[in-house]
Structure 1
Amino acid sequence: MRTVSIIGFDGALASAITGIIDLFRLAGVTWARINGQMPEPEFTTRLLTRDGSPCCCINGLTIQSDGAWNEPHRSGNGSDLVIIPTIGGRIDRVLAENAELINWLGRFQSSDSGRVRVASNCTGAFMLAEAGLLDGRQATTHWGFSNQFRQRYPAVDLQSDKLVTVDGHVACAGGGMAWWDLGVYLVERYAGAKVARELAKAFVIDAGRTSQAPYSALQARRYHSDAAILRLQDWLDGHYSQPVNLHFLASLSGLTERSLIRRFKAATGDTPTGYLQVLRIEAARQHLENSRAAVEEVTRLVGYDDVSSFSRLFRKHTGLAPGVYRSRFGR
């Protein structure tokens, strides 16, 4: 059987630990029991902490560990797969308190196995990035912390809309309960597609999810000190439904069009037009979630005339058509 080691630390999210343990321990087991067959476990798991002491999770739950990751004989070779769960506490504090663990993770810089050797869920990606494992690689993390992640780790190719990324021997899952998706994916990589499909069915998991974009909210993008751009953002926040063009926005900001594009991009990471689109899509999401207005009316309310063009743009940003989005998230 393959050995999966989950790394525990104080301030971790309990469900991201116990849930992923359940998935791996019951791969090849639950489906067999449902069908009256002999269970054939595929994995053994262990929860490892710095010195083998219990893991004190962010919700107050204490989980007994199975040993210590820093024991001399635990160089990482004893595990087929190492998983970092979600950081539930303050990210900067947890990182500072786990410098020894981050240093230990550095030994997973490379792998000759051709398989995923180390993975993270949600904000656990901050630990992998802090250890330098994600430099030059694609990665994902919780959408709500994507700006913070990009600022702290500019060498990482962050794909914040993706639910799971795999680059070489490193895998990352996005926000919250994405350990479901990560777990099923890794079970497939190690035990095969049949075992993974049966596990997803047994746990009633939608294994077809690929994006966390439908769950994300507009990031404010105000972590800058360009006063002219901040004033323009304030104006756009209240007038996004009005017809505007680049010439008008440049006049409003007191900048030339060329300077506006350059400074807006430097401050927010987006163009004025792109930022306006995101504002309109976020407003449309609110209408679809909280009102019964027809899609045609929502299109008009957020500043568009053509429903088909709006629908294509909405799908581009959220991964879902407006009607599908409403059926999933509407009241």
Structure 2
Amino acid sequence: MKKVAVVALPRCHASGIHGVMDFFATASFCDGSFRAGGDPLFDCQIVTLDDKPVRAFNGALVVPTMERESFEPDVVVIGSGVEAIGASARIDSYLETVRPLNSWLRGAAERGALLASVCTGSFVLAEAGLLDGQVATTHWRVAPVFRARYPDLRLEEEQILVDNGQVVCAGGASAFIDLCLYLVERLASPAIALACSKLLVLDGRRMEQTPYMSFYGSKAHNDPAVVKAQHWLEEHYAEPVVIDHVAEVAALGARTFKRRFKEATGETPLNYLQHLRVEAAKHLLESSREQTSQIIWQVGYEDASSFRRLFKRTAGCTMEQYRKRFGYVAPEGIQARA
């Protein structure tokens, strides 16, 4: 029997906490442990910072099922702390609040426990020093915050799962499903993981967050000239754009502009422009039935093959695959039912 501690943080993703519990209970069911009357394959317990219930992001109470200090788990799963995505400006105070977990997590690691994080739970592992020398992933939207806070850590936010051996990170709040599938496969067997997948009606593990990512041009910096250029690019991305002209808009020399733009946004002006065009194309693929060639022209590209390569590299799929997956406008001749 493997003991699993699911750490519920303040303002956590409640369905992720209970979803992990449900998944490991399902694994024990599929193993036959419950039916045979023996010990379950997994003993899964919810723990919190102070052994008291925590208020989840949705307002529900998540109640611990075990005193944290008295539980010595084989596996620790740190649930998503939605605060990091919804209010990244308060990340410092949030992580200070959960700092008392650090010594408990390090103790679990020293005993050989497998440590896993879901979504922004990776911040907690990083604060405890448990991602030093490791590879991490986290929710794509908070990746810039993670990079700024931990510049020496290697982050691969495009990945759904990253396995370092003793430390496993999952990106995105719903990635607890992918994480659980992987952990059951690793700790029990591929057959039990497949049985869980069938019983819960789940697809196989996803590999990348890339198709879900959206580009948010950060303006949380102190360079008004760059902000002016960002606004101009966002208004004129569909036109022929010359970067030296954008420098003139910002009232900067070309070399100075490019340097300051990269320092402020983390992107070169050209990459920023390309991201804007890809995001515009995504919106049109989602919300219209325009031909892809027409969309490419509308977002400011004349070379269709070049844009298609850019789109696939950025979104992780072709334009046609993206529309099939995320488009919400019915094809002509098909009417949505009331």
* TM-score range for the pair, normalised by the shorter chain length: 0.7 to 0.9
Q: Secondary structure at the match of 1:265?
A: helix
**TM value normalised by structure 1:** 0.87
Q: Which residue of 1 aligns with 2:2?
A: 2
Q: Which residue of 1 aligns with 2:144?
A: 147
Distance in 2, matches of 1:181 and 1:3, equals 19
Q: Which residue of 2 aligns with 1:20?
A: 20
Q: Which residue of 1 aligns with 2:259?
A: 262
- CA shift, 1:110, in A, is 5.8
1:130-180 CA-to-partner distances (Å, cap 9, x unmatched) read 212223322111222222222222222222222112224211111121100
Q: Which residue of 2 aligns with 1:42?
A: 41
Q: Secondary structure at the match of 1:324?
A: helix
Relative to 1, partners in 2 of residues 1:102 and 1:5: Cα closer, same or farther, differing over 3 Å?
Answer: same
Q: Secondary structure at the match of 1:29?
A: helix
Q: Secondary structure at the match of 1:46?
A: strand
Is the 2:13–2:173 contact (alpha carbons within 8 Å) kept by the matching residues of 1?
Answer: no
Which of 186, 198, 215 aligns to 1:201? It is 198
Is the 1:87–1:94 contact (alpha carbons within 8 Å) kept by the matching residues of 2?
Answer: no
Q: How does 1:171-320 map to 2 (within 5 A)?
A: 171-320=168-317
Distance in 1, matches of 2:291 and 2:248, equals 35
Distance in 2, matches of 1:243 and 1:60, equals 48
Aligned letter for 1:126?
Answer: F
Distance in 2, matches of 1:203 and 1:317, equals 32
The answer as to 2:158 corresponding to 1:164 is no
Distance in 1, matches of 2:300 and 2:131, equals 40
1:218-240 CA-to-partner distances (Å, cap 9, x unmatched) read 12222211222221111111111
Gaps of 5+ in 1: none
Distance in 1, matches of 2:37 and 2:194, equals 16
Is the 2:73–2:108 contact (alpha carbons within 8 Å) kept by the matching residues of 1?
Answer: no
Q: Which residue of 1 aligns with 2:82?
A: 88
**TM value normalised by structure 2:** 0.86
Aligned letter for 1:42?
Answer: L
Relative to 1, partners in 2 of residues 1:286 and 1:171: Cα closer, same or farther, differing over 3 Å?
Answer: same
Distance in 2, matches of 1:202 and 1:254, equals 61
Displaced runs of 4+ in structure 1, greater than 6 A?
Answer: 37-40
Gaps of 5+ in 2: 329-338
Distance in 1, matches of 2:258 and 2:41, equals 54
RMSD of aligned residue pairs (Cα, Å): 2.5
Distance in 1, matches of 2:186 and 2:158, equals 22
- CA shift, 1:93, in A, is 4.4
Is the 2:57–2:82 contact (alpha carbons within 8 Å) kept by the matching residues of 1?
Answer: yes
Is the 1:51–1:67 contact (alpha carbons within 8 Å) kept by the matching residues of 2?
Answer: no
Percent pairwise identity = 39
Is the 1:2–1:44 contact (alpha carbons within 8 Å) kept by the matching residues of 2?
Answer: yes
- CA shift, 1:320, in A, is 1.6
Is the 1:20–1:180 contact (alpha carbons within 8 Å) kept by the matching residues of 2?
Answer: yes
Is the 1:138–1:157 contact (alpha carbons within 8 Å) kept by the matching residues of 2?
Answer: yes
Distance in 2, matches of 1:218 and 1:129, equals 24
Aligned letter for 1:206?
Answer: D
- CA shift, 1:108, in A, is 5.0
- CA shift, 1:60, in A, is 3.1
Is the 1:264–1:271 contact (alpha carbons within 8 Å) kept by the matching residues of 2?
Answer: yes
